[in-house]
Amino acid sequence: MVMIFAHRGYSAKYPENSLLAFNKAVEYGADGFELDIHLTKDEQIVVIHDHTINRTTTGRGKVVEMSFDEIQQFNIKNGLFNVTDEKVPLLIEVLDIVKKHNKLLNIEIKAEPGKIEDKLHELLTRYDIIDQIIISSFNIESLVKMEALDSSYETALLFDRYHTSPWDYKTSHNIKSIHPNAKHITIDHLVELEHNELPARVYTVNKEKDLKTWMSSSVTGIITDEVERAVQLKRTKKIES
């Protein structure tokens, strides 16, 4: 059965990449979460999508040029104007939720390759939940480094446009799965992926008709903002089958 991943938490209704959004994803039955990570100036791994805090918080500045304490001075915004009580969380805070509720976690490395991979590996080793973790990135260097640190990591290469033969990365870089943009992948592509034994999780699928289509396909995961809708459709499909 396909796994439902809450994209940046339950971001359709709650502030993206906030503890509230992740806890709500648990409450509404997601199998796991997708989130984004950056490294602060004082080398803390924080959960935030952009390279700056400008769009999603009340502050301004580049994550890599700010300490965690400096980032904590600002609140997360839900949309353009709505200010919330939420703060940019540390990855360890989300890992606590993952471990407590036995959820899957797709960690997308947004930061430039370098220090963040070692810090991430150190953190995940401490939590002993590697079998619940998927490491994804558009940057293959980060994935190769994670593989070098521990070959048991489930690494997933992100694609915006579908690559003609993504399984090449499986043999050349030991990539274990791919995360293609659902807009640019077809059922024919999935047949090729199955033939080459390369699992796929698609993003970001929100419309009911699209969710139904992908749930009836061979993808192993669907990344969505619309957690309640996706979970309900999955439950209905399970009952029907």
Q: What is the pLDDT of residue 238?
A: 77
User: Tell me, what's the pLDDT at 198?
Assistant: 96
Residue 80 has pLDDT above 70, yes or no: no
Q: What is the DSSP letter of 33?
A: E
Is 49 annotated as catalytic?
Answer: yes
> What structural domains does the chain harbor?
3-36+91-240 (3.20.20.190)
Instruction: Give 1's contacts (C-beta < 8 A, 6+ positions apart).
Output: 234, 238
Average pLDDT, the chain: 96
d(C-alpha 157, C-alpha 166), whole Å: 9
- Does residue 28 surpass a pLDDT of 70? yes
- pTM greater than 0.95 (yes/no): yes
Strands 45-47 and 32-39: antiparallel
Q: Is 101 a catalytic residue?
A: no
Q: What is the rounded average pLDDT of the residues 144-170?
A: 93
Locus of tokens 């080398």? 43
Catalytic residue among 49, 101, 173, 189: 49
Q: Please, what sign has the CA dihedral across residues 67, 72, 75, 77?
A: positive
Token pair listed for 92: 């360890």
Look up residue 15 and give its DSSP letter: -
Neighbouring residues of 49: CB distance < 8 A, sequence distance ≥ 6 = 8, 16, 17, 36, 56, 110
Whether 93 contacts 22, CB under 8 Å: no
Q: 118 near 47, Cβ under 8 Å?
A: no
Mean pLDDT of 208-212: 98
How far is the C-alpha of 212 from the C-alpha of 123, rounded, in Å? 36
CB 49 within 8 A of CB 17: yes
Task: Name the active-site residue from 7, 38, 121, 179.
Answer: 7
State the pLDDT at residue 148.
Answer: 97
Give the C-alpha separation, 63 to 123, whole Å: 19
Q: Is the pLDDT of residue 161 over 90?
A: no
